[in-house]
Amino acid sequence: MIEKVIPLADLRYAARMPHIPAQLQAPTGMLADTLSRPLHDLRISVTDRCNFRCSYCMPSEVFNKDYAFLPQSSLLSFEEITRLTKIFVAHGVEKIRLTGGEPLLRKHLEVLIGMLARLTTPSGKPLDITLTTNASLLAKKAQALKDAGLQRVTVSLDGLDDAVFRRMNDVDFPVADVLKGIEVAHKVGLAPIKVNMVVKRGTNDAEILPMARHFRNSGVVLRFIEYMDVGATNGWRMDEVLPSAQLLERLQAGFPLEAIDANYTGETAERWRYRDGGGEIGVISSVTKAFCGDCNRARLSTEGKLFLCLFASQGHDLRALLRDGSYSDEQISAAVAHIWQGRSDRYSELRAALPPDASVPGSDGARRVEMSYIGG
Ligand code: SAM
Ligand code: SF4
Ligand code: SF4
């Protein structure tokens, strides 16, 4: 039998050329999509590379030595990222999350943070700048990141048992080094620190209680994320998802919890706190409880394509406008407004309304972009 090989790298390049409206309207800071969702968060992927091979994100069978990562020349430069961010901020973005791939692999990331930290919202407020990292390089870089203007950090850690964690990251990386990264981040004043744990039933669900116990009373907010069917390579199966409702039951058995209000509209995590004052945790029910209704997040891929949903298979090529050289900021701003105003994505909601094995109309599972490419 001849197997058909799908060249993943080629598919990543599929993107629409943005339309520049004939009438350029000045940004009002209040852009709404077709479902009245504002544009508030921008996630920027600064590299598609990573030194981990978490099976739910970059399985090593696919992301191996033959995998075609993006060449350096394809990546948005820091100047290009800053120019686009400024445009997004004028449209209402107040929160920036740098991600990837592993963002700390991008050389001189602190220079980019310094450039972004100098931007302000139309009302003069500083931007809320954060970073999601596997923390492998955090101990080394935390001080420089803080000095450059980074305020806080989210660290991914899927368990405290070394054997479980090494298996999940698939590069034999030890838990102790991640904990060291968290400790140094705390020391230099990156706060609050959040820890994300992706829960895969049968793989690391035995780590839920030890993780909760470890981070209780530490000031760190632990957030449990349902394993998602993002991308096209992780071999996702529903039976490996542990619904947050069940996770909360397990947690409550050890530590009584009570629900608390969201910090802001569109927050992805549901917040809970320990009744005995031991701090706060969050659950992100991306699979079992869709939160598309409040989704105010745009994602800028490593090579400058704008994605309107984590489950999209096509982006909008903003880099083409930047590199053409003939488009003004006003024109690019109008193109961004046009794209957001046409947004109707709500993949998780649509999927939740379908039987488990049905696919969402208009979503091409085999062509969905990878999380490491558009950023989590
Ligand atoms: N490398 C960095 C890290 O791991 O923190 C940043 C990029 S990573 C793609 C961002 C977040 O996405 C991480 O917290 C990771 O655990 C999460 N993630 C990746 N694949 C996922 C999946 N299939 N389901 C749920 N979360 C996932
Ligand atoms: Fe790398 Fe983060 Fe993906 Fe793990 S989740 S493979 S650390 S990008
Ligand atoms: Fe937002 Fe898409 Fe996730 Fe819905 S499925 S919450 S629209 S990223």
Is the minimum distance from the CB of 181 to ligand 1 under 6 angstroms? no
Residue-wise pLDDT for 356-368, tens only, equals: 666 776 666 666 7
Residue 251 lies in a domain: yes
For residue 228, the ligand closest to its alpha carbon is 1
Domain extent, residue 186, equals 14-374
pLDDT of the residue at 4 = 40
Q: Assess whether pLDDT exceeds 60 at residue 7.
A: no
Residue-wise pLDDT for 252-277, tens only, equals: 998 999 999 988 877 889 999 999 99
Pocket test for ligand 3, best of 43, 265, 309 (most atoms within 8 A of CB): 309
Q: CATH no. for residue 126?
A: 3.20.20.70
Average pLDDT on 135-145 reads: 98
Give how many domains the chain has, as a whole number.
1
Q: How far apart are CA 157 and CA 52, in angstroms?
A: 12
Tokens 């649509």 correspond to what residue? Answer: 350
Pocket test for ligand 3, best of 284, 286, 297 (most atoms within 8 A of CB): 297
Residue 259 lies in a domain: yes
Q: Assess whether pLDDT exceeds 90 at residue 373.
A: no
pLDDT cut 70: percent of the chain above it: 93
pLDDT of the residue at 268 = 87
Q: Whose CA is nearest to atom 9 of ligand 1?
A: 376
Residue 7 lies in a domain: no
Average pLDDT on 234-243 reads: 92
In this predicted structure, which of 25-29, 52-56, 131-135, 372-376 has the lowest mean pLDDT? 372-376
Average pLDDT on 313-339 reads: 96
Report which DSSP code applies to 295: -
Structure tokens at 185: 């981040």
Residue 279 lies in a domain: yes
Residue 239 lies in a domain: yes
Q: How far apart are CA 185 and CA 267, in angstroms?
A: 23
Residue 1 lies in a domain: no
Is the minimum distance from the CB of 45 to ligand 1 under 6 angstroms? no
Helix (H, G, I), strand (E, B) or coil at 299: strand
Residue 248 lies in a domain: yes
Cβ atoms of residues 211 and 247 within 8 Å: no
